[in-house]
């Protein structure tokens, strides 16, 4: 079983690889943007690494505390999506005895979320205040939830790919992204460009509305 220190290191490494990838519309080592810098993201990864792996916290509290320390450190939303996606994986990895057990452990984590987890996550999303959040007629984050976190993600899954992972046991991650990344990393030996290729492959399958909107509203001069 992995120690908290090992999980923290794995989380920070994944956050760093994400920054190494040249991704249109996103902050990376190649470009700042949206009033955020690469250093903001690196500080966010360091600050959130402890709470997102804190064994004394529930899943929901890990999400909230990770967003809170990030907000306190950099004053903006750098990593809400990363936190929401990684928190269940890290909790599952903490419980799994071997790598082969990870997916089964994740199934258990997602099947056993509760309303308290949803409440913490809703508070985290409100605190992060991500762009384009809008309002929802059902289980809006500004209200108290009466469903579990996984059930809330099911409601959002048609419009948010991270939310969808909660309802498919991270099918995109296990059955496509990890396989594609490992193949390319074995070929090139470069984490950053392997991440770029994975990003491009995912974008080809599932267009990103934020990038589409940026393209629509960017002046062509």
- Ranking 47-51, 118-122, 127-131, 214-218 by mean pLDDT, the lowest is 214-218
| pLDDT tens digit sequence for 80-108 | 999 999 999 999 999 999 999 999 999 99
The domain ranges of the chain are 4-217
| pLDDT tens digit sequence for 209-218 | 666 655 444 4
Specify whether the CB–CB gap between 41 and 3 falls below 8 A.
no
SS3 assignment, position 31: strand
Q: Which residue has the higher pLDDT, 3 or 130?
A: 3
The CATH architecture that domain 4-217 belongs to is Orthogonal Bundle (1.10)
| pLDDT tens digit sequence for 3-41 | 999 999 999 999 999 999 988 778 999 988 888 999 999
Burial label for 205, CB within 10 Å (0-12, 13-18, 19+), is: exposed
Distance of CA 168 to the CA centre of its chain: 15
Please give the structure tokens belonging to residue 30.
């190649």
Biggest CA–CA distance in the chain, Å, is: 56
Please give the structure tokens belonging to residue 54.
């804190």
First-to-last CA distance in the chain?
A: 55
Averaged pLDDT of the chain: 91
């Amino acid at each position: 079983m992995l120690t908290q220190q090992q999980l923290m290191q794995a989380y920070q490494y994944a956050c760093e690889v994400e920054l190494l990838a040249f991704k249109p519309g996103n902050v990376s080592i190649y470009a700042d943007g949206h009033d955020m810098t690469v250093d903001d993201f690196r500080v966010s990864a360091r600050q959130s690494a402890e709470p997102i792996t804190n064994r004394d916290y529930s899943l929901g509290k890990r999400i909230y505390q990770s967003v809170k320390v990030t907000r306190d450190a950099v004053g903006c939303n750098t990593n809400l999506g990363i936190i929401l996606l990684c928190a269940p994986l890290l909790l599952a990895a903490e419980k799994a005895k071997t790598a082969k057990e990870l997916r089964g452990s994740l199934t258990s984590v997602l099947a056993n979320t509760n309303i308290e987890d949803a409440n913490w996550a809703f508070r985290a999303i409100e605190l992060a205040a991500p762009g384009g959040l809008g309002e929802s007629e059902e289980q809006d984050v500004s209200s108290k939830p009466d469903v579990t976190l996984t059930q809330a993600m099911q409601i959002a899954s048609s419009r948010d790919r991270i939310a969808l992972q909660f309802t498919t046991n991270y099918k995109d991650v296990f059955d496509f992204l990890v396989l594609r990344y490992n193949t390319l990393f074995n070929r090139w030996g470069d984490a950053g460009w392997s991440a770029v290729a994975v990003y491009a492959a995912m974008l080809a399958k599932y267009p990103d509305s934020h990038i589409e909107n940026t393209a629509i509203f960017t002046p062509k001069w």
